[in-house]
Structure 1
Amino acid sequence: MTKPGVLPNQALQQMIEEGIISASPDILAEQIQPASLDLRLGNTAYRVRASFLAGSGATVANRLGEFEMHQIDLTSGAVLEKGAVYVVPLMEKLNLPDNIQAVANAKSSTGRLDLLTRTITDGGVEFDRITPGYTGPLYAEICPRSFSVLVRPGMRLNQIRFRSGQAVLSDEELRARQADVGLVSGDAHIDQGLGFSVDLRPENGDLVGFRAKPHTGLIDLDLIGHYDPAEYWEPIHTSEGRIILDPGAFYILVSREAVHIPPDCAAEMAPYLAMVGEFRVHYAGFFDPGFGHDAAGGSGSRGVLEVRCHEAPFVLEHGQVVGRLVYEQMSDVPTQLYGAGIASNYQGQGLKLSKHFKTL
């Protein structure tokens, strides 16, 4: 019987061996993360008229017949254009037992490119949520928001996390953890999770973030450390401790707090409350065990905030709470931690663009 909690890498390996998770071609060792599995794009993308969910009793394949505009062969690389919506069958499939559910999310680099990527399933009535006992294929819905991107089969834009039962830490448990091991630097704002605030008064200089430029070139997702940030991003400076968010614009900002995810926990970034402002924070929401953990080289890891402003200009001020981390207990401590020898890109980070850009 699986203990309640998020399943660690060693449990994922066992699920692969038992055929609960399968793929063609076979799953690679580097897809397995401390508390999640990277999902790979298949060979074909379908350009669709609109985003959709399959809905109860229907398959994604059948719904594609309603919304498909044309098919795109990805085998030699293909461009997914800014503002368009695509559905891509993934290489992985599931055959979940009745006591295991799953949740998917964009990977960190995907979110930092404003590349809205969500997982849909046959019979699905929610994005990124896979019900216990689900058997069937997985699909990625991809909508590039700020930059057109070049993709190929096997690229990993999103990831999936499996859990047994409910293991969300209560506010009382979070306060005990904060007192014992420290979950954030400074004072902890705990209310249905651990509050995240924005840093608009950096200790060094007045650079507080970046805003995506509206008309840019293509980004090849295979090229790491390749692109000049100045061609794609406008730096945001302020000495006043506040900025005004423009409607429709996409920003990369950073949390005021350094975050710590203990080895026996995982976390997910959730939006705060719609009442606090006209913006959405953080497309890429998984924080793995070991993020910001001293023993895994992560002392002082900030949370990068992916912010999109909605209908009205909005004044964002230093220290304003913009999101919350929901912590969950792991069913077992992972045998590998974020940053500890697994080529994690954002351990020990501060304000940082995606890995595709040259270091400033």
Structure 2
Amino acid sequence: MILSDKTISKMLKEGSLTVTPIKEGQIQSASVDIRLGNTFSIIEDMAVGIISLDHEIHYSTIRTDKYLLLPGQFVLATTMEYFALPNNMTAFVEGRSSLGRLGLFIQNAGWVDPGFEGEITLELYNANRYAIELQAGRRVGQLVFAQLDENALNPYNGKYQKQKGATGSKVFLDVDSL
């Protein structure tokens, strides 16, 4: 079941859901608007020119209120908000159609697990032929919350728990059991 603005507001007030900082105008009928933070990361140049999923990738990270996303460029960014989801709730990250119409693709793998706590790292891609100026504090998407039928047996406690800032991939830490 997707949560309504009434339920979201109630949960925020009682502290069972955390979204901070938040302004009342961010709470929509079935979502919470998320704003762009001021941390941006890009993969550093590598001599080999190949990303291996088995090795750590290094990122260059900057803090700025404005970032110029060039055509065809990919950058990691972060939300301004810090979230803490209870063990019986999940969330979906959705981009704003107004920005998608400019060629700005926003994703974060789309899913926030029950029990996750931290800022959400966003993957931004400029599919336009013009640069797009990104500005911290601007609404870039929304978080849609859904209630689980009961508490998760294994709430999230993974490698991105309590992350702050644009956090690079830690896929090299995965132990593949296949």
TM-score, normalising length: structure 1:
0.36
Q: Within 5 Å, give how 1:132-211 maps onto structure 2.
A: 132-146=114-128, 147-165=130-148
Q: Are 2:103 and 1:114 aligned?
A: yes
CA deviation profile, 1:267-312 (whole Å, cap 9, x unmatched): xxxxxxxxxxxxxxxxxxxxxxxxxxxxxxxxxxxxxxxxxxxxxx
**Corresponding residue for 1:131?**
113
Residue among 46, 60, 81 paired with 2:70: 81
Larger Rg belongs to: 1
CA deviation profile, 1:115-163 (whole Å, cap 9, x unmatched): 11112xxxxxxx0111122222211111111132111111111211001
Q: RMSD of the alignment, in Å? A: 2.4
**Aligned AA (2:61):** Q
Q: Are 2:17 and 1:14 aligned?
A: no
**Corresponding residue for 1:97?**
86
Q: Would the aligned equivalents of 1:104 and 1:161 in 2 still touch at CA under 8 Å?
A: yes
Please, which runs of 5 or more residues in structure 2 have no aligned partner? 46-52, 150-178
**Aligned AA (1:132):** P
**Corresponding residue for 1:30?**
25
Q: Within 5 Å, give how 1:52-67 maps onto structure 2.
A: 66-67=57-58
Question: Does 1 or 2 have the higher relative contact order (CA < 8 Å, sep 6+)?
Answer: 2
Please give the secondary structure, in 1, of the residue aligned with 2:57.
helix
Please give the secondary structure, in 1, of the residue aligned with 2:29.
coil
Measured after TM superposition, the shift of residue 113 of structure 1 is 1.4
Q: Would the aligned equivalents of 2:16 and 2:86 in 1 still touch at CA under 8 Å?
A: no
Measured after TM superposition, the shift of residue 93 of structure 1 is 2.1
TM-score, normalising length: structure 2:
0.69
The 2-side partners of 1:67 and 1:128 are apart by: 23
Q: Would the aligned equivalents of 1:38 and 1:158 in 2 still touch at CA under 8 Å?
A: yes
CA deviation profile, 1:233-260 (whole Å, cap 9, x unmatched): xxxxxxxxxxxxxxxxxxxxxxxxxxxx
**Corresponding residue for 2:157?**
none
Please give the secondary structure, in 2, of the residue aligned with 1:110.
helix
Measured after TM superposition, the shift of residue 49 of structure 1 is 5.7
The 1-side partners of 2:76 and 2:90 are apart by: 22
**Corresponding residue for 1:240?**
none
Q: What percentage of residue pairs aligned between the two structures are identical?
A: 27
**Corresponding residue for 1:217?**
none
The 2-side partners of 1:155 and 1:48 are apart by: 24
The 2-side partners of 1:91 and 1:19 are apart by: 20
Q: Would the aligned equivalents of 1:21 and 1:92 in 2 still touch at CA under 8 Å?
A: no
Please give the secondary structure, in 2, of the residue aligned with 1:42.
strand
Please, which runs of 5 or more residues in structure 1 have no aligned partner? 56-62, 120-126, 167-360
Q: Would the aligned equivalents of 1:49 and 1:85 in 2 still touch at CA under 8 Å?
A: no
Please give the secondary structure, in 1, of the residue aligned with 2:142.
strand
Q: Would the aligned equivalents of 1:118 and 1:158 in 2 still touch at CA under 8 Å?
A: no
The 2-side partners of 1:6 and 1:44 are apart by: 30
Q: Would the aligned equivalents of 1:36 and 1:161 in 2 still touch at CA under 8 Å?
A: yes
**Corresponding residue for 2:40?**
45
The 1-side partners of 2:58 and 2:7 are apart by: 37
**Corresponding residue for 1:326?**
none
Please give the secondary structure, in 1, of the residue aligned with 2:6.
helix
The 1-side partners of 2:71 and 2:43 are apart by: 13
